[in-house]
Amino acid sequence: MIREELAYWDTTFNAQYVIFIETKLFSAYSGGSLLTDDYFERRKTISTTNRTKKKKVYAHVSTHLYRQLCLHYEGFILLRTESRLEQYATELKQHRTNCININETRTIKEALWALAHTASTEYGYAWFMEKDLLPDFLRFAEECQNLSVRG
């Protein structure tokens, strides 16, 4: 059953997770709803003229399946053997930081979110450091002009 869920995440939900979380975060930080789904266009909010001060919105970042599995050693081993985790690490290391189309951007965002959630656990962090992925995260944060990881 877990293998089926992993297959679903790897083929479908990792991409949907990125859109879901980024929409929640944008809404929380900007105080408005997302009016475009274009990865390259500057995100817009509704005009703020004559608007009363809004109550702060807090965004809850929903847990990624990769993180949940990494909380236990057996789950971490399953994740390494049955998921795209290793593939995400390879994609991140080999990919250039100037994503030129939506598919490239989506692929990198999927990898960044999945790997970051994995690294937020004890087992995942050890693996993340063993794979030497921190320089690649920093490379994208410093050089990529169209990913929200900058800053």
Q: Say whether 44 sits in a helix, a strand or coil.
A: coil
Q: Would you state the pLDDT for residue 26?
A: 77
pTM: 0.78
Look up residue 12 and give its DSSP letter.
I
User: Does pLDDT of 79 surpass 60?
Assistant: yes
Looking at residue 31, what DSSP letter applies? Answer: S
Which one is predicted more confidently, 58 or 70?
70
Element (DSSP H or E) covering residue 15: helix 14-30
**Maximum Cα interatomic distance, the chain, rounded to a whole number of Å:** 55
DSSP string, 59-87: PP-PPPHHHHHHTSHHHHHHHHHHSSHHH
What is the C-alpha end-to-end distance of the chain, expressed in Å?
39
Give 129-139 pLDDT, tens digit per residue: 999 999 999 98
* Residues 118/70, Cβ–Cβ less than 8 Å: yes
- Which pLDDT does position 98 carry in this prediction? 79
Question: Contact at 8 Å (CB) between 33 and 46?
Answer: yes
For the ranges 14-18, 77-81, 121-125, 141-145, the lowest mean pLDDT is seen at: 141-145
Count other C-beta atoms under 10 Å from residue 32's C-beta.
Answer: 17
Q: What is the pLDDT of residues 38-68, one digit of tens each?
A: 544 444 445 555 556 656 656 677 889 999 9
pLDDT at site 133: 96
